[in-house]
Amino acid sequence: MERLERALAAKRLVVKIGSSLLVDEEGELRGIWLDALAEDVAALRREGRQVIIVTSGAIALGRRVLRLPRRPMRLEEKQAAAAVGQIRLARAWEQSLARAGLATAQILVTLEDTEARRRYLNARATVETLLRLGAVPVVNENDTVATGEIRFGDNDRLSARVAVMAWAGTLVLLSDVDGLYTADPRHHSEARHLPLVEAITPEIEAMAGEAATPVGTGGMASKIVAARIATGAGCHVVLTAGAGLRPLSALRGGARCTLFPARTSPRRARKQWIAASLAAAGRIRVDAGAVAALKRGSSLLPAGVREVEGRFERGDAVIVEGPDGVPVAKGLSAYDAEDARRIAGRRTREIAAVLGWRGRDEMIHRDDLVLL
Ligand code: GLU
């Protein structure tokens, strides 16, 4: 299937790993499996591809260390288990990736971090920098500060949000099943595997059901939620079985999976998001040269800024208007209103001297900007 090949050839992949792949029923880490997966990641990196890992397993690992009984845990117990287990989890990743010659970066986020615009800009910039420097970001939810109930399966959604934030081409969900079936294959022998799901219809949702396995996964329903988030933002989603050694190689070698193709391009999805869903908190008036540059697809540099109006924070949406006051663009400001005023009209190399710290070169990066 050509579309699958294209999805798997994405330059940037997010790979989500569920607790049941990493941790066995005894609460023991599956070290050999993890070493092999690290080899898979290293192979992708050697091809010049970038990989971001979203990993569960903190609670499953911590539970054993704390000898918590095998009954459903209270929220505080899960948070305690996560606090203990996350250290082990990060160490395990660090060791396995190091053996494969890769540096590991631990990133703990809450779902809100991937939604709130200010944190989003920072998180994205950090991930971008880590990837450029060759490190593998290893992401989990910051369970100890999560205020809502921690549900298994939350990491499916988190992985989709991370994929959207990082503009990944493809999200690979490694699971304990090799794709979506017309019914739960464990109970229905007539269940049929679906290699391609073009649209997440109510029928597809009904097929996913609510089932969850005891060790970890949130079942198919949370995978479908993840697929909806990611595909709507321009990211392909591939669901496949992860339990065998080197599941990413297996996938590339033709292992069974379900592809949910992206429903738009990441660029278009992002521009739509900026244009339609964000209210502008301020206005930036620019000179004619800057208007021309923006229309050619450039970023907005401080040098072209004449006036800054309104109160906004870094990451807020602002309207950019020409010398005549006509709106020309909308974008996410890399500076808050006060700093934007201070660097207005200045050359990029002067920013550090004016502010006393080195910020972004652009007032609004072209990736964060849409022409109106
Ligand atoms: N963040 C949780 C953990 O690391 C798992 C959540 C999930 O499995 O979706 O234990």
Q: For residue 248, is pLDDT > 90?
A: yes
Residues with CB under 6 A from ligand 1: 18-19, 56-60, 82, 140-141, 143, 152-155, 216, 218
Q: Whose CA is closest to atom 5 on ligand 1?
A: 56
User: Which pLDDT value is given to residue 207?
Assistant: 81
User: Which pLDDT value is given to residue 115?
Assistant: 63
Least confident residue range of 133-147, 207-221, 326-340: 207-221
User: Which pLDDT value is given to residue 117?
Assistant: 62
Q: For residue 215, is pLDDT > 50?
A: no
Please, what is the average pLDDT of the chain? 90
Cα atoms found within 13 Å of the Cα of residue 239, Cβ hemisphere only:
31
Q: How far is the C-alpha of 242 from the C-alpha of 175, rounded, in Å?
A: 5
Q: Which fold would CATH assign to domain 278-371? A: 2.30.130
Q: For residue 63, is pLDDT > 50?
A: yes
> Hey, which of 19, 87, 157 would you mutate to test ligand 1's pocket, going by the most ligand atoms within 8 Å of its Cβ?
19
> Hey, which of 87, 93, 154 would you mutate to test ligand 1's pocket, going by the most ligand atoms within 8 Å of its Cβ?
154
> How close is the Cα of 147 to the center of ligand 1, in Å?
14
User: Which pLDDT value is given to residue 70?
Assistant: 78
Who has greater pLDDT, 151 or 8? 8
User: Which pLDDT value is given to residue 101?
Assistant: 97
Q: How far is the C-alpha of 182 from the C-alpha of 193, rounded, in Å?
A: 7
> How close is the Cα of 339 to the center of ligand 1, in Å?
39
Can you give the residue ranges of every domain in the chain?
Answer: 2-265, 278-371
* CATH code given to domain 2-265: 3.40.1160.10
User: Which pLDDT value is given to residue 145?
Assistant: 80
Q: How far is the C-alpha of 201 from the C-alpha of 32, rounded, in Å?
A: 39
Atom of ligand 1 nearest to the CA of 156: 9
Highest mean pLDDT among 66-75, 210-219, 298-307, 348-357: 298-307
Q: For residue 218, is pLDDT > 80?
A: no
Atom of ligand 1 nearest to the CA of 86: 4
pLDDT band of 294, cuts 50, 70, 90: very high
Q: For residue 79, is pLDDT > 50?
A: yes
The CA-CA-CA angle for residues 173, 175, 176, to 5°, reads 165
pLDDT band of 118, cuts 50, 70, 90: low
Atom of ligand 1 nearest to the CA of 61: 10
Least confident residue range of 6-15, 49-58, 88-97, 308-317: 308-317
Who has greater pLDDT, 111 or 33? 33
DSSP label of 277: I
Atom of ligand 1 nearest to the CA of 81: 10
H or E element that contains 252 = helix 247-252
Q: What percentage of residues in the chain have a pLDDT greater than 90? A: 68
Atom of ligand 1 nearest to the CA of 55: 4
